[in-house]
Structure 1
Amino acid sequence: MYLEHLSLTDFRSYAQVDLALEPGVTVLLGANGIGKTNLMEAIGYLATLSSHRVSSDGPLMRFGTERALIRARLVRGEQATLLELEINGTRANRGRINRSNPVRARDILGICHTVLFAPEDLALVKGDPSNRRRFLDELLVSLIPRHAATRSDYDRVLKQRNALLKSARAGKFSSGHEATLDVWDQHMARAGAELLFARLELVERLRPHLNGAYAQLTDGSKEAGAIYRSSLQGLIDDDGTAAGHPGAAAAVDGSEDLRLLTVDQLTDRYVQAFAASRRKELERGISLVGPHRDELELVLGEAPAKGYASHGETWSMCLSLRLASYYVMLDDARTGGSAPILILDDVFAELDVQRRRKLAAIVAGAEQVLVTAAVEADIPEELAGRRVMVIPGGIDEQG
């Protein structure tokens, strides 16, 4: 799959811009702050309905406007698909597929696949657990779009349950609230079990690719791994970091392999864990057990990558995570999915020469690779291809 044309209206710094693209490598060159990343952000947003730079949609709309529009023409084999996504400031976002009637934005998920490398990826290793959970969930939704509803259902139930727990902490909790909490426990247990089951399966798919990608980028002297730490097993401390022992409130044996359980069995485990944690949750006013508290621990050799990896190793681990997601998508493409568009946004400026060349050699064979850089000298010769100049407010194509 490749992107043939991108059009933006009132997106970020662009009142209107059109960009024609083709298979293979395209490098967008321009000074820092000129708008290169805005173009890549729009493509990534079309694939995931989220930005790698901001957590809300407000900054995506050009200042002073209340709506932004992304249009993209995607080609897969002999078939072309026109996607339109309307980002709204005052109502729900909407999408269109091949100029059909408007649909919910999440109904376009799974059509455009991307893997986006960016300097912000350092947070995948150095940041808090929410960055790694987001990485898993975005990849999960790209592969299986129905899990967008799974995430949405869980977030909705979590919000309602937390509101009830906060009212209890404020002294407004009654026996009637207790019965209501029991109901929310059941809803959250089911939604949480479905999300946990999907994440565990995904981590199993990622793990071998992560180690393989790390070996490709380095001398292979260390193995890279990923361990899913579930709050269900008491493996997460109250601050959200991985603990080395089962928590006192856990109702599940920390040694139990959750990968062997069904969704129904995980639902039962959550119900047990909520019951065991209730007193502590009422005291704290928050939900202490659930996928929102879990951690994907990245391991390099025998030590956690966070806090122990050097700067170069950290970058290699970040790149390996993105490459692993690319390889998982390629596996999926062989069974009917679409190979992803690779986007490397200002990444090469952050890497040493050796890592630049190794990364370039790995991605050069993808169906479409989009690269941004401030200076052409940062681009390895392995990524020979079309060059496009980005200028204030638009594009100046150079062949």
Structure 2
Amino acid sequence: MFDQIQKNIFTQDSILDLKTIPQDSSAISVEVDPMLKVNDNINSFDDYISDYFVIWKNIPSDFNPALPSRLEIGDYEYNFASHLDDWYDLLVDNANMSSLSDDPQKFMVTTSTDLRYLPTNSPSYHNPLDAGQGYHFDNIQQNLLRIGEPLLVFHYSKDQKYAFVLINAKAYGFVAVNHIAKVTKERALGLMNSDYAMIANDDSSIYYKDDYVTSLDMGAILPIDNGDLKLPVRNIDGGLDLITVNADYENIIKTPLEFNLANVKLIVDKLIDKPYGWAGHLGNRDCAQLTKDYFAVFGKLIPIFSAEQSKVGEIIDLSSYGKMQKLAKIKSLPIYKTILYTKGHVVIYMGEYNKLPIIFHARWGVPLYDSTFNEYRYIIGKSVLTSLEFGSDLAGFDLKHSSFLESISSASIVI
């Protein structure tokens, strides 16, 4: 039996931060120190592309794939019913891990697709009535892969519907076979040495011979050949073709943006107030994807997972700092390029608004507690600018356990 206590609070009324801190770039106003560059090479995406295609050059030495246990992925379906007893065993059998190849093949994503821990599109949750569980925290969902992303294919599921792949972030899992295309050695070499343009706005329309083909979101990149923008597509034989396309000029950039206040404000305005999407659910962003896309337009490729993002650049351990000491240290860090981390969440430090330190992040909710310390959530569910103690005005906010400031364990200054 479920404990029928409401664990998530949905309300039309905003937390105080969202009423007092402008939810647009007017909240940030300090010019970037010209000595604090994100990427010295702003003339091209060459550095970015070199890192982007590293998976086609070297397989990580520590690559040792393993499937998640049933305990890790949970026991509940989308309708709150328990999975059938043999559900997990059937998925593991279909995963076909005994067929893992020692000679993986180069592939590229041709349709935006989900990276899954197991070969299924069906979700799996922990108890949906526990705080922070259930929709949309699908434990099989790992990441959203965008058109053009390189990957390696090691084998296929028994039903041939899924390929087992490795991507740049050292992440591995299953993707739908019809969403990827095989890349020849010659074409792979050409792609690794091409010029590239990056999509700089969400829902950017891509056209082929003036007909709409698809839309791409900020951070996606497309190769340029002889001045023509190319879109990777899967041909009838499952191989990769590149078709000449065009996009609205204002939605693409051919060199990284200069790291300055005007461009930071531009990107914040494009990314703020977007729906939260756990691990790319429904094509939306969680905290790590927001952070990754923010830095991408400045020419810096960072990992997709929050724990790995916390290890980028110059790392400052804050775990032993007291609250006030931690606050003082954060206020001394470079604005717009410092990632603050606590287990499971990252934010970008954006300086101060009315002398209050503020952060930019995609957030699902605020952990709250009742009188007997049962946990529940106030739902934010989007990308926002907040203080370091967002939600402190809510009943149930615990000064130690609800406070993001209290939980911050490290800062990483992206170089």
TM (norm. structure 1) is 0.23
More strand, by proportion = 2
Structure with more contact order per residue of length (Cα contacts < 8 Å, sep ≥ 6): 1
